[in-house]
Amino acid sequence: MQLCIGIMFMRYIRVTLYLGICWLLFANWSALSKSDTISIPLNNWMSQRVLSHVVGDIIEGYGYAVTYHDMPASDQWGAMQKGLVHFQIEIWQQSMSGQYNRMVADNLIVDLGVHSVAVREEWWYPQYVEELCPGLPDWKALNHCSKLFANDAEPSKGVFYTIDWDYQDADLIRALNLNFTIRRLQNEEILWQKLEKAWLSKIPIVLINWTPNWTDLHIPGRFIEFPLYSMACETDASWGINPNRLHDCGNPRKGWLRKAGWPKLEKLYPCVYKLIKKIDFSKKMIADAASFAVFDGNSESKAAKRWSIKYRNEISKWVDNTCLSKLS
């Protein structure tokens, strides 16, 4: 009888030790999962890239490792849904609202708030072009001056320069019967090189631009004023000046700029979640972020550090001191 009791006691000890080891391993695994790397997407416009580095630097101060992933904006939605990237700090209304609204409605990503700044994305030209094309910024002047914007490859039509974003520009050209064609450049850097070359020689050019941006600070210019935007412009052909076509209007003149994140961000990384919710960019903050890199020639990381020094007072309002150097 005593032998049986002893054997049972030893088994109890072994089981207890085994369960204790399993609990410790689970606890360590949980700790590691909470200290996992925060992943941030880098898209193809400079303010987003620089400000993502700014936010990444803050998060590193919270004790997390941070990695950055180059991807077009079109690829970030599925990645954010799956937690392959954890948040996006610049979601622009005109170019991203469709996918953003659908995924928030389906609870695939979460809304993390809106910035105070109003934004705009539209056809744009340097100020000196008005002297060569009277009537601008009214869109009707474009056809009168279309050959001013032509190039050797397309001498009979004006050329509108853009990159790989879809603003329904082809639909706009057809709906308003503009004598223009679209030239899509490979990236933002080539777009700005094209602008710089035109600006230095005072060559007429019209291209995609947005505000806030570095050009706000360094190259005076104006947006083309197309017919005012309405949601009906996208859904009801009879609404606008062309009763047979949609998209016979410009983009919103005062659009929103939002933030979004992975649905599990709040639960697994509450400090990061609270930080993104608090961040609020002004027009000058975004323009400076782009300018420090594009105009001043700093790397993205150096531009981010310079930006963080200039806006340290604003950053201090976003940071929760209880999160600094603590994993939570």
Q: Residue 141 belongs to a domain with what CATH number?
A: 3.40.190.100
Where do runs of H (alpha helix) occur along the chain? 2-34, 46-61, 73-82, 93-105, 129-132, 141-144, 169-175, 188-201, 215-218, 232-235, 265-268, 270-278, 283-294, 300-310, 312-318
Answer yes or no: are the C-beta atoms of 308 and 54 closer than 8 Å: yes
Query: What confidence tens digit (pLDDT) does each residue in 248-280 have?
Result: 999 999 999 999 999 999 999 999 999 999 999
- Domains of the chain: total: 2
Evaluate whether residue 240 is within a structural domain: no
Query: What confidence tens digit (pLDDT) does each residue in 29-87 have?
Result: 433 344 489 999 999 999 999 999 999 999 999 999 999 999 999 999 999 999 999 99
- Give the SS3 label for residue 88: strand
46-61 helix and 300-310 helix, angle to the nearest 10 degrees:
70
The DSSP string of 167-188 is: --HHHHHHHTT-SEEEEE-SSH
Q: Residue 288 belongs to a domain with what CATH number?
A: 3.40.190.10
**Both 308 and 204 in a single domain?**
no
Average pLDDT over residues 126-137: 97
Of 205, 235, 265, the last residue of a domain is 235
Q: How far apart are CA 116 and CA 112, in angstroms?
A: 13
Answer yes or no: are the C-beta atoms of 83 and 269 closer than 8 Å: no
Of 180, 201, 235, the last residue of a domain is 235
Evaluate whether residue 21 is within a structural domain: no
Q: How far apart are CA 191 and CA 186, in angstroms?
A: 8
Ramachandran quadrant class, 107 (left: phi over 0; alpha: psi -120 to 50; beta: rest)? left
Query: What confidence tens digit (pLDDT) does each residue in 231-253 have?
Result: 999 999 999 999 999 999 999 99
**Both 230 and 194 in a single domain?**
yes
Task: Count other C-beta atoms under 10 Å from residue 304's C-beta.
Answer: 23
**Both 201 and 280 in a single domain?**
no
Task: Count other C-beta atoms under 10 Å from residue 201's C-beta.
Answer: 8
Q: How far apart are CA 282 and CA 277, in angstroms?
A: 15
**Cα angle, residue 322 at apex, residues 257 and 301 outer, rounded to 5°:** 50
As given in the structure block, the two tokens for residue 2 are 């005593």
Instruction: Read off the pLDDT band of 324 (50, 70, 90).
Output: confident
Q: Position of tokens 């777009």? A: 191
pLDDT at 33: 45
**Both 61 and 153 in a single domain?**
no
pTM above 0.95, yes or no: no
Q: How far apart are CA 89 and CA 48, in angstroms?
A: 7
Evaluate whether residue 17 is within a structural domain: no
Evaluate whether residue 170 is within a structural domain: yes
pLDDT at 21: 41
**Both 109 and 145 in a single domain?**
no
**Both 155 and 206 in a single domain?**
yes
Q: Position of tokens 């972020």? A: 289
Answer yes or no: are the C-beta atoms of 253 and 226 closer than 8 Å: no
Evaluate whether residue 310 is within a structural domain: yes
pLDDT at 165: 81
Evaluate whether residue 261 is within a structural domain: yes
**Both 169 and 263 in a single domain?**
no
Evaluate whether residue 31 is within a structural domain: no
| 305 pLDDT more than 60 | yes
Residue that wins the pLDDT comparison between 21 and 323: 323
- Supply the range of the domain harboring residue 278: 37-118+256-323
**Both 144 and 218 in a single domain?**
yes
- Give the SS3 label for residue 279: coil
Of 201, 235, 269, the last residue of a domain is 235
**Both 162 and 85 in a single domain?**
no
Task: Count other C-beta atoms under 10 Å from residue 300's C-beta.
Answer: 19
pLDDT at 267: 97
**Cα angle, residue 224 at apex, residues 218 and 227 outer, rounded to 5°:** 150
**Both 112 and 138 in a single domain?**
no
Evaluate whether residue 5 is within a structural domain: no
- Give the SS3 label for residue 230: coil
